[in-house]
Amino acid sequence: MSVDAATVRKIASLARIAMTEGDVDAMVPELNNILGWIEQLGEVDTAGVEPMASVIPGHQRLRADVVTDGDVRDKVLANAPQAEHGFFAVPKVIE
Amino acid sequence: MTATNLTDLGIAGIRDGFRAGTFSAREVADAFNAAVAGADALNAFIVKTPDHAIAAADAADKARADGADLGALAGVPLGIKDLFCTEGYQTTAASGMLGGFVPTYESTVTAKLFGAGAGMLGKLNLDQFAMGSSNETSAFGNVISPWRRNDSGNAPLAPGGSSGGSSAAVAARIAPGATGTDTGGSIRQPAAFTGISGIKPTYGRCSRWGTVAFASSLDQAGAMAHDVRDCAIMLEAMSGFDAKDSTSVELSVPNWEAALSADLKGKKVGIPKEYRVDGMPADIEALWQQGIAWMKDAGAEIVEVSLPHTKYALPTYYIIAPAEASSNLARYDGVRYGLRDLPDGANLQDMYAATRAAGFGAEVKRRIMIGTYVLSAGFYDAYYTKAQKVRALIARDFAQAWEKCDVLLTPTAPSAAFALGEKSADPLAMYLNDVFTVPSSLAGLPAMSVPGGLDPQGLPLGLQIIGKPFDEQGVLNASLAIEQRAGFAARPGKWW
């Protein structure tokens, strides 16, 4: 599989990264080079192999469903680029 | 002792001298702070924190004077990779995206180190978001290795990556030890490039809480220091169960330092035949053979083992790591922390895209793009699920090897340090630098690099020991056997 400029633009949009036409043109061969190299995994017979999501055997730990943290609004907001009235502020999303 | 002598000491030397009353912790902190201040040419630190080192030293001196219990690292100042969140001190992951970010919390690893009495000299430079093998992707400029080739050319060399600030600082003796993180080799490869020791423990030994995430199923913190003993001391202090990290393992931390032994009688050392890659330099092959001889000399039996899926580890890694990175780095959108780029009249979507375009460097964007592509509709199974299956086969190869041997011996990297700029134009050539470190990362295994010798250009070369899950002791002991026999004493000449 190889990607073209339209695909790169679509991926950039999914990844929420603004790209100029020049950025897109530069990215096309780079991604194709890397994806072409990755294609060699197709040689590996993985029939009947379970995908490995974690190297840690066993199951997910559970904890009691109780609040153990919180009430730190000012700490949470301390690094916000813009915070107002105790909230994160963003550009208007509803007209 | 003079300040120069103090900065020659490693972690054990400082700890023991401080306890014996040979010098004060304050003298140590002052000596290292001065060394850090005089080494700007290395660009190893993004932020210097002499106040933190001095406060910890004064607390250690007071505890000693009061006869109070001294922590395992009392009196020891450390460098902290700028991937660990440190409360009240800027943490950027070497990115523009997190420029000016000052965490309001402490990572578990640094909390443990500081709780053991260590102080912080500063935040160490790295490849941006830990993505790179050369320290050429930092938003704060390249780290320069303290080493130089013996050809009088003075070409600036890569300190390795991503923990390149850590490796440069320890090798230049401006920090006696430093934290690193290893996703695909980011502790071991820089340790090899700079002639120091570095250990990545079993996945789950060190909490990832408060560490800026790159690829969550792979990232693991570890120790970088002068020698094996110092790594054992530091790793002990960093490790342990943490309820705040769901992948942290509920196992007690052994006393690794106390059980150090270079006697390998009765141990079997595996030599994976697939690590003999095409075009491997003769120096690397010769060092590997020397390592085999050292293992035999330490009493070990050498066995050849096969890890048949080795050649697929790198392409597997470069699907899984970017996939996880694209997910982890989605949090940087200009809303809650870090950079915000809000062009005139921009809506929320425009703000996200502009912020991420401005805040991420080229390598980070490349990996996010690859990750987004392999996870996108229609390609998920062909790439991501396939890679997870191959990952299972790679882990199975190791499990089968453990039926025949106790540890594996390999080179750490396929070459000595390269010059800055030499590989940066070709992402694939750069990725191939991690060929020997990535497979054990995918399997979550403990692995360590120790210096084995010098190449003809006078640059350090490392040997890697890979161990069974949770057998850090076996890794440390085999590494100690190499260290004792290699007698590696070379140091970079001071030019900075």
Q: What is the ipTM of this complex?
A: 0.95
User: Buried b vs exposed e over B432-444: b needs ≥16 C-beta within 10 Å?
Assistant: bbbbbbbbbbbbb
pLDDT at B261 over 80: yes
Q: Residue B409: helix, strand or coil by DSSP?
A: strand
Model pLDDT, residue A47: 96
Q: How many CB atoms are closer than 10 A to CB A50?
A: 9
List pLDDT tens digits, range B232-252: 999 999 999 999 999 999 999
Tokens representing residue A91 in the block:
């550009």
**Average pLDDT estimate for A49-60:** 85
Pair type for strands B77-81 and B119-124: parallel
pLDDT at B431 over 90: no
Model pLDDT, residue B427: 79
Pair type for strands B301-305 and B268-272: parallel
Tokens representing residue A52 in the block:
């490995």
What is the number of alpha carbons within 13 Å of residue A58 lying toward its C-beta?
Answer: 10
Contact state of A41 with B337 under an 8 Å Cβ cutoff: no
- What CATH architecture does domain A5-43 belong to? Orthogonal Bundle (1.10)
List pLDDT tens digits, range B378-419: 999 999 999 999 999 999 999 999 999 999 999 999 999 999
Of residues B225 and B280, which shows the higher confidence score?
B225
pLDDT at A62 over 90: no
- Given a contact cutoff of 8 angstroms between Cβ atoms, the answer to whether A35 and B376 are in contact is no
Q: Which of B95, B107, B138, B162 is catalytic?
A: B162
Identify the CA nearest to B219 among candidates B248, B198, B243, B242.
B248
Model pLDDT, residue B3: 65
Task: Look up tokens 């290395």; give the residue.
Answer: B42
Task: Look up tokens 């050498």; give the residue.
Answer: B302
**What are the helix (H) ranges across B144-258?**
164-171, 188-194, 228-238
A-B contacts (CB, under 8 Å) = 155
Q: Residue B78: helix, strand or coil by DSSP?
A: strand
**Average pLDDT estimate for A8-20:** 97
Element (H, E) at B221: strand B220-225
pTM over 0.95: yes
Identify the CA nearest to B295 among candidates B259, B266, B275.
B266
Task: Look up tokens 């002598």; give the residue.
Answer: B5
Residues of B in contact with A62 (CB under 8 A): none
List pLDDT tens digits, range B292-348: 999 999 999 999 999 999 999 999 999 999 999 999 999 999 999 999 999 999 999
* Strands annotated E in B70-210: 77-81, 119-124, 177-182, 197-200
Identify the CA nearest to B180 among candidates B144, B148, B214, B146.
B214
Q: pLDDT above 70 covers what percent of chain B?
A: 99
Q: Residue A68 — very low, low, confident or very high, per pLDDT cuts 50/70/90?
A: confident
Tokens representing residue B145 in the block:
């290795």
Determine the residue of chain B that is closest to A1 in CA distance: B379
Tokens representing residue B141 in the block:
């400029």
Residue B167 belongs to domain spanning: 3-261
What is the rounded CA–CA span in Å between residue A90 and residue A92?
6
Contact state of B353 with A16 under an 8 Å Cβ cutoff: yes
Q: Residue B4 — very low, low, confident or very high, per pLDDT cuts 50/70/90?
A: low
Domain of residue B192, CATH code: 3.90.1300.10
Q: Range with the lowest mean pLDDT among A29-38, A59-68, B158-167? A: A59-68
Active-site residue B81, yes or no?
yes
Number of domains chain B contains = 1
What is the rounded CA–CA span in Å between residue B236 and residue B285?
33
DSSP secondary structure, B304-319, as one string: EE--TTGGGHHHHHHH
Task: Supply the mean pLDDT for chain B.
Answer: 96
Q: pLDDT above 90 covers what percent of chain B?
A: 95
Task: Look up tokens 């003796």; give the residue.
Answer: B173
Q: Residue A35 — very low, low, confident or very high, per pLDDT cuts 50/70/90?
A: very high
Q: Residue B424 — very low, low, confident or very high, per pLDDT cuts 50/70/90?
A: confident
Contact state of A33 with B330 under an 8 Å Cβ cutoff: no
List pLDDT tens digits, range B77-128: 999 999 999 999 999 999 999 999 999 999 999 999 999 999 999 999 999 9
Q: Which of B48, B81, B267, B468 is catalytic?
A: B81
Model pLDDT, residue B15: 98
DSSP assignment letter at B38: T
Task: Look up tokens 């299956």; give the residue.
Answer: B389
Determine the residue of chain A that is closest to B333 in CA distance: A16
- Given a contact cutoff of 8 angstroms between Cβ atoms, the answer to whether A19 and A26 are in contact is no
Q: Residue B1 — very low, low, confident or very high, per pLDDT cuts 50/70/90?
A: low
Contact state of A11 with B360 under an 8 Å Cβ cutoff: no
Q: Range with the lowest mean pLDDT among A58-72, B66-80, B400-414? A: A58-72
Pair type for strands B460-467 and B407-411: antiparallel
Active-site residue B95, yes or no?
no
From the list A3, A52, A79, the residue facing B337 with the nearest CB is A79
Q: Range with the lowest mean pLDDT among B104-118, B131-145, B419-433? A: B419-433
Active-site residue B162, yes or no?
yes
Q: How many CB atoms are closer than 10 A to CB B155?
A: 13
Distance, C-alpha B382 to centroid of its chain: 31
DSSP secondary structure, B417-436, as one string: PPBTTSSTT-HHHHHGGGTT
Sign of CA pseudo-dihedral B370, B376, B378, B379: positive
pLDDT at A71 over 70: yes
**Average pLDDT estimate for B447-465:** 97
Element (H, E) at B35: helix B25-37
**Average pLDDT estimate for B261-284:** 93
Q: Residue B365: helix, strand or coil by DSSP?
A: helix
List pLDDT tens digits, range B158-173: 999 999 999 999 999 9
What Å distances lie between residue B179 and B175, B182, B222, B355, B464, CA to CA? 11, 10, 6, 30, 18
**Average pLDDT estimate for B482-491:** 97
What is the rounded CA–CA span in Å between residue B19 and residue B21?
5
Identify the CA nearest to B326 among candidates B372, B283, B361, B286.
B372
Residues of B in contact with A3 (CB under 8 A): 373
Torsion of CA B466, B316, B206, A65, to 10 degrees: -140
What Å distances lie between residue A40 and A45, A77, B319, B373, B431, CA to CA? 11, 46, 12, 17, 15
